[in-house]
Amino acid sequence: MANMNEDKALDLLQKVEDKIKGFEQSSAAQIQAAEEGEATLQNELNSQRAVIQELSELVKGYDAIPRSMADITRSFATTVKQQAEGTANLGGTLTETEVLKEIKSVQNKYGVVERLWGAKILPMASDVMTVPTDPVMETAGNDAEVNEIAENAEITPDTGKVGLATLTAKKQAVLTYVPNELFEDAFLDVLGAWLLPKMARQMAKRKDEVVFNTATTGLLKSTDIPSVTMASGDGAFADISIEYILDMQDEVADDGLEDGLYLCHKSIRTYLRKLRSGGSTTSDGPFLWGNTAAGAPDTLEGYELQRVACMPAKSATAVSTAFALFGDVTMAMLVGSKGKPRIDVNDGLRFNFDQKAVRYIERIAHATNADLGPAACRLVTNAST
């Protein structure tokens, strides 16, 4: 009986040992499988890293390739560089340095705003920008005053006024359609040498129109700019005289005299060129200005005269109308620009006409306030003739 129980115990013990060995073998297999899976995953990760590294090198190489207008317009020739943006087959572009230089060159030639404000045009990081302004008026409290102080005496503190002007960028755009035959058959670079300069020139004129003539905010319309109103009965542009020219200088704050100049349309300048020292436009003494052969200087009362095509011509004469400016207009008016000029070329928009659509956009802003306005002055005809 004892031997039987012993055999059963040994048999049970053997079964337990067999199960233990089975578990050990199963665990070893699982561990091996896990190790093999980990190795496979590691190999896959290494492969992905290699692909990413290769792509990174390709991107670096792509960034080093110069973008050209030909890349953007896809078939018509040009030498102007561009940076591609958006869907390539739509020709979306942002101008780069070479295009910007050409645009600035054209606009400096034809645009008063670009020529006068130049580096004073404020770059805007957002559509709306508030700019601190330094008052130009000769009014007590505008600036921190300097006073004589006795030895060991306390300096009396003073505060200077800081104004604020808000620039709001507005989009200005021009769009034109050009037949593909012109791009293919023209002997010149249609976009770079012909169309872009024309668009840039028109944009320069538009900037002048905005800064000088915008209702209630332009230099000729803003109530922040002081005025000299011509005497009763002098309700026409032709009634301008040297006395009014001198009166304008009196209305401008001293800060605006340093870089002051006169601005008017070329036809109003002709009126001024005809003025003689005796007051008559036909006789009575030599010309006051511009006749260097007769000793008359090429300045008007010591100041340059700038022609501005968008200002009122003599044909627009009317009562109660501002038609001439004097002072430092770049101090009186802030001008801002949001981003760079943008040029877009699209083949699809006029596909059924076999034309390319070419669009040119700039975003500009202008603003003045009561603190800046007195740096300039305008001449206004009387309400009666």
pLDDT score of 70 more than 50: no
What is the band of 27 on the pLDDT scale with cuts at 50, 70, 90?
A: low
| Residues found in the chain | 385
- pLDDT score for 207: 94
| Stretch among 98-102, 169-173, 187-191, 318-322 having the lowest mean pLDDT | 98-102
Tell me the two tokens of residue 181: 């035959």
HEC profile for 317-337?
CCCCCEEEEEECHHHHCEEEE
Interval 16-25: pLDDT, tens:
676 667 666 6
CA-wise closest residue to 180 among 360, 359, 347, 349: 347
Contact 373, 332 (CB under 8 A): yes
Contact 242, 279 (CB under 8 A): yes
- pLDDT score for 8: 67
CA geometry: angle 244, 246, 249, nearest 5 deg: 115
- C-alpha torsion 32→37→39→45, nearest 10: -170
Instruction: Give backbone dihedrals phi and psi of 59, rounded to 5 degrees, phi first.
Output: -65, -45
- How many CB atoms are closer than 10 A to CB 148? 5
Q: How far apart are CA 79 and CA 65, in angstroms?
A: 15
Interval 316-361: pLDDT, tens:
999 999 999 999 999 999 999 998 888 888 888 888 999 989 888 9
Q: How far apart are CA 250 and CA 374, in angstroms?
A: 11
- pLDDT score for 79: 35
* Token pair 């034309």 in the structure block, residue: 355
pLDDT score of 141 more than 70: no
Interval 206-238: pLDDT, tens:
999 999 999 999 999 999 999 999 999 999 999
CATH topology of domain 227-333+371-380: hypothetical protein PF0899 fold (3.30.2320)
What is the band of 247 on the pLDDT scale with cuts at 50, 70, 90?
A: very high
- pLDDT score for 162: 76
Instruction: Give backbone dihedrals phi and psi of 167, rounded to 5 degrees, phi first.
Output: -95, 130
Q: How far apart are CA 158 and CA 358, in angstroms?
A: 57
Residues of the chain with CATH 3.30.2400.10: 69-138+161-217+336-367
What is the band of 274 on the pLDDT scale with cuts at 50, 70, 90?
A: confident
CATH topology of domain 69-138+161-217+336-367: Major capsid protein gp5 fold (3.30.2400)
| Residue-averaged pLDDT of the chain | 79
Residues of the chain with CATH 3.30.2320: 227-333+371-380
